[in-house]
Amino acid sequence: MAKVPRFLLTVMCFLICTLALGQTVLTNDQILEMVNAKLTSSLIIGQIRNSKTNFDLSTSQMIRLSQAGVPEEIIAAMRKASNGSNANATGNTVKLPDGEKLRLVLAEDISSATANVGDRINFKVAEDLKVGDTVVISKGASAVGSITEAKKKGMLGRGGKLNMLMEYVKAVDNQNVRIRATISREGDDKTGKAVAVFILAGPFVFLVKGKDVVVHSGAEYPAYTDETKDIIVPGQ
């Protein structure tokens, strides 16, 4: 049997992936599938540009993508897509200012006994965020943070400790909007700043003498937009 040229195999694999994806939304897992199938970066980037996307670009997922061998140019294309560069939604654009306050509710229990640095933390938005009368971030939208420090309880009454970083929240047009834990930035810090956690109020360092820190689902925390961003509001 004659061998099929490598180029034709690559094209066939790409077409199969394209047909399988159809109108579904591209995710991290599908990018990994294409990378593992040995599709070229140019083919994968083309697929990203021509598809709807819902990428998770949290710290832990960026580490996962890098360790799995996803090339930098593909990760850059994923970032560009998440920032709405290939958005095909129609509607008016509303400018979301930096420093707008959000109410976030923890969507899961976290504990210093089991948490690890890089773990993703999931939140839900507690109420609509509006610019004027227009909703730009909806109640129930997902928000993401990550663990930056985790220490279990120790000997001699040393308590557990958790630090976390606020990362982003989903806007109504599915863009990721960077968030931080404080109302104002300090110096040139533009990355949200690691926050310690107190049970009732920020800033977020959890520190409990002689015990592991446990924070339950439903705990509420303030967050603030960490950039100015144009949001596409459908149907306006």
Beta-strand runs (E) in the chain = 91-96, 101-106, 110-111, 120-125, 129-131, 134-137, 142-151, 160-170, 176-180, 194-196, 206-208, 214-215, 220-225, 229-234
Q: Where are the alpha helices (DSSP H) in 72-154?
A: 72-82
pLDDT of residue 164: 85
The residues, any chain, with a CB within 8 Å of residue 130's CB and separated by 6 or more, are 136
Whether 138 contacts 234, CB under 8 Å: no
The predicted pLDDT at position 178 comes to 94
pLDDT of residue 157: 57
List of the chain residues with pLDDT < 50: 19, 21-22, 85-89, 186-203, 205-209, 236
Which CATH architecture is the domain 91-234 placed in? Beta Barrel (2.40)
Report the C-alpha gap between 192 and 58 in whole angstroms: 13
Rg (Cα) of the chain, in Å, rounded?
Answer: 21
**Both structure tokens of 64:** 């996962």
Torsion angle in degrees (nearest 10) through CA of 107, 111, 112, 113: -140
Residue 193's pLDDT is 46
Residue 188 token pair: 């040139």
What is the per-residue pLDDT for 81? 82
Residues with Cβ within 8 Å of 127's Cβ and at least 6 positions away in sequence, in order, are 103, 139
Q: Which residue has the tokens 């095909």?
A: 88
Residue spans per domain, the chain: 6-82, 91-234
pLDDT at 4: 53
pLDDT of residue 214: 83
Q: Are 81 and 48 in contact (CB under 8 A)?
A: yes
Distances (CA, A) of 90 to 124, 131, 201, 234: 26, 18, 39, 6
